[in-house]
Amino acid sequence: MSGGAEKGGAGVAGVLIVDDEEPARSILREHLEGLPGVRVVGECANGFDALKSAVELSPQIVFLDIEMPKLDGFEVLELLDPAIAPVFVTAYDEYAVRAFEVHAVDYVLKPFDPSRIALAVGRARERIARGPAMRAGELHAAARPGGAFLARVVVRDGSRVHIIPVERLDAIEAQDDYVGLKSGGKTYLKPQTLSSLAEALDPGRFVRVHRSHLVRLDAIARLEALAGGSHVAILADGTRVPVSREGYTRLKDLLC
Partner 1 sequence: MHPILAHPGRLLPYLAACTPLIAILTALFARPGGLFLGEAIALAVPLTFAYAFMGLSAWYPCRQFPLNRSRALPLVLAHAAAAGLLSAMWVVFAALLAGTLGLLPVFTGLQARFGTQAIALFAAGVLLYLLAAALNYVLVALEAAAEAERREAELAVLAREAELAALKAQIRPHFLFNSLNSISALATTDPPRARQMCVRLGDFLRRSLALGEKTSISVGEELELSRAYLAVEELRFGSRLEVEEELDERGQTCLVPPLLLQPLVENAVRHGIATRVEGGIVRLGVACGAGRLRILIENPYDPESPPRPGSGRGLVNVRQRLTARYGEEALFAAKRLADRYLVVISVPVEMPA
167 binds partner 1 (CB under 8 A): no
- Least distance from C-beta 93 to partner 1, angstroms? 7
Query: What CA–CA distance (Å, rounded) separates 54 from 29?
Result: 17
Give the range of 19-27, 35-43, 235-243, 248-256 binding partner 1 by CB under 8 A: 19-27
> Using the rule CB under 8 A, which residue among 24, 99, 105, 174 binds partner 1?
24
237 binds partner 1 (CB under 8 A): no
Give the range of 148-156, 183-191, 204-212, 237-245 binding partner 1 by CB under 8 A: 148-156
Q: What is the DSSP string of 8-76?
A: TT--PEEEEEE-S-HHHHHHHHHHHHTSTTEEEEEEESSHHHHHHHHHHH--SEEEEESS-SSS-HHHH
Distances (CA, A) of 46 to 8, 33, 51, 125, 137: 34, 21, 9, 24, 20
Query: What CA–CA distance (Å, rounded) separates 125 from 188?
Result: 32
Give the range of 17-25, 128-136, 174-182, 199-207 binding partner 1 by CB under 8 A: 17-25
- Least distance from C-beta 11 to partner 1, angstroms? 28
126 binds partner 1 (CB under 8 A): no
Among 65, 23, 63, 21, which residue's Cα sits nearest to residue 42? 63
Give whichever of 5 and 27 is closer to partner 1, judged by the CB atom.
27
196 binds partner 1 (CB under 8 A): no
Query: What CA–CA distance (Å, rounded) separates 59 from 64?
Result: 13
72 binds partner 1 (CB under 8 A): yes
Binding site for partner 1 (CB under 8 A): 20-24, 26-27, 30, 45-46, 67-72, 75, 91-93, 109-112, 145, 148, 151-152, 163
